[in-house]
């Protein structure tokens, strides 16, 4: 992986994102070894063929928003995610606190004293 092309490393990381969870471009880039390569992650996925085994739809922008330029692609991505149980709010955003991929598995527990606000 070390000498592998940049895109391959990006794809390798994306393949690790579990079903029903989403990662951000920056997160993917970082895990691939590119400290400031969020754009490269996006560019790599953009170059991906339509029927790739790479779960490209599980990658969103840091704000939980779909970053695709083309409307058709955005619809496809949202449909694929909803098919895995990921919910979008009225503004078309995903709550990363709930569906964000936590590498390491340990869900970030709410800080003591924080207000738990009617979750779903």
Contacts with DNA, residue ranges (CB under 7 A): 5-7, 24-27, 34-43, 45-48, 56-57, 59, 61-63, 66-69, 73, 77, 91
Residue from 75, 72, 77 nearest 58 by CA: 77
Smaller CB distance to DNA: residue 90 or 120?
A: 90
CB burial of 20-56 (b: ≥16 within 10 Å; e: otherwise) equals ebbbbbbbbbbbbebeebbebbbebbeeeeeeeebbb
Minimum distance between the CB of residue 65 and DNA, rounded to whole angstroms?
8
Least distance CB 43 / DNA (angstroms): 6
Q: What is the Rg, in whole angstroms, of the alpha carbon atoms belonging to the chain?
A: 15
* Alpha carbons 99 and 109: distance in angstroms, whole number: 14
Q: Please report how close the Cβ of residue 60 comes to DNA at its closest, in angstroms.
A: 7
Please identify, using beta-carbon distances, which residue of 91 and 120 lies nearer to DNA.
91
C-beta of 35 vs 119, nearer to DNA: 35
Toward DNA, which CB reaches closer, 46 or 85?
46
Please state the closest distance from residue 93 (CB atom) to DNA, in A.
8
CA dist 120 and 116 (Å) reads 11
């Amino acid at each position: 992986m070390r000498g592998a092309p940049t895109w391959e490393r990006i794809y390798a990381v994306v393949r690790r994102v579990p079903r029903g969870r989403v990662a951000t471009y920056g997160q993917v880039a970082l895990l691939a070894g590119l400290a400031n390569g969020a754009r490269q992650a996006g560019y790599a996925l953009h170059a991906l063929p339509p029927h790739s085994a790479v779960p490209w739809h599980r990658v969103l922008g840091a704000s939980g928003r779909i970053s695709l330029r083309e409307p058709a692609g955005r619809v496809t991505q949202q449909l694929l995610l909803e098919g895995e149980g990921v919910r979008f709010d009225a503004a078309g955003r995903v709550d990363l606190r709930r569906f964000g991929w936590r590498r390491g598995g340990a869900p970030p527990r709410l800080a003591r004293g924080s207000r738990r606000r009617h979750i779903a």
